[in-house]
Amino acid sequence: MSATAVNESGSKRVNSSLLTVLVAFTANVLIAIAKSVAAAITSSASMLAEAAHSWADAGNEIFLLIADRRSDRGRDSGHPMGFGREAYVWSMFAAFGLFTAGAVVSIWHGIQQLLEPEEASNYLVAYVVLAIAFVLEGISFTQATIQARRLAAAQDRSVPRFVLNTSDPTLRAVFAEDAAALIGITIAFTGVALHQVTGSATPDAVGSILVGVLLAVVAVFLIDRNRRFLVGEAVRPEVRQRVLRDLLARPDIERITYLHLEFVGPGRLYLVASVDMVGDDVEPSLAVRLRHVERELELQEHIEEAVLTLATPDEVSLTP
């Protein structure tokens, strides 16, 4: 079975995702410090919202690092499906953190600024910090895009569609958060500029609220995607077809009448199939052959567990 039958595969995915998260974490810590200083100096609501945004992102990267580490452990007697789903649990925590620490703080501060406007100052500091932040976020987003483009190209899919459906929550989170960060910086820049031009704190406050709404939308999207993988969302039709074709290409399998596939972690599948084996062996020999095929399938890094049963003659064959 080819490695492209699923979204990503094993150690290569982990190494790429780890680099992507580390780049994002480093960028967000530097940006968060700079934005916090700029927010204190300028008293800009949009800058404070962006500072909260970056601190939330930096905290989320810690959750994502934990997700990568804990989900990469091999299965044991107490966890027959492995620990892959831990990636979705910790990524869910990261998404909740983005919502509470980023969205809620930004929206609440924007509302406060509308009710009790505060004059901003030292606009040049805000512009410089936002420009530097845009460059650093751009570097992080580029790293995430490079990884996503490489994996998407292997499946002949667009980057947005790949990121939406990938079983790797770490890559999806970094990609979505970095994209939101670039949009948020643009909103904050516009809010600060309008504050300076008009002398009114209202555009700045609205900018803070818009940044919060943006973060809330991203957080809800990430929470929903992780929820779907945790409850066992069916694999996409193209993944199912690839796996079916690869199984039928094996010289020891004549036909398949049932196929169940479920992601149990990033790039890790639980496979159940009813098959007709080539030849006409007696039952004990067939059992041995089935177990042998299962073990061979499980040697592939994207198959966590394979369970094969014998098909009955009256069952309809599946076709790719």
- 294 lies in which domain range? 237-310
What SS3 string covers 116-163? CCCCCCCHHHHHHHHHHHHHHHHHHHHHHHHHHHHHHHHCCCCHHHHH
Whether residue 267 sits in one domain with residue 200: no
What b/e readout covers 5-20, taking b as 16+ CB neighbours within 10 angstroms?
A: bbbbbbeebbebbbeb
End-of-domain residue from the set 195, 230, 265:
230
Percent of the chain having pLDDT more than 90?
23
CATH code assigned at 290:
3.30.70.1350
Specify whether 249 is located in the same domain as 116.
no
Instruction: List the beta strands (DSSP E) in the chain.
Output: 253-265, 268-277, 303-310
The pTM for the full model equals 0.79
Summarised one tens digit per residue, pLDDT across range 197-230 is 988 889 888 998 998 899 899 999 999 999 999 8
CB count within 10 Å of CB 40 equals 13
Is 82 found in the same domain as 110?
yes
Provide the phi-psi class of 232: left if phi over 0, else alpha when psi is between -120 and 50, else beta: left
Q: Return the CATH number at 184.
A: 1.20.1510.10
Domain boundary among 230, 253, 286: 230
Does 285 lie in the same domain as 201?
no
pLDDT in tens, 227-281: 999 888 888 888 899 899 999 999 999 999 999 999 998 888 999 999 988 877 6
Quote the number of domains for the chain.
2
198 and 247 belong to one structural domain: no
Same domain, 142 and 51: yes
11 pLDDT above the threshold of 50:
no
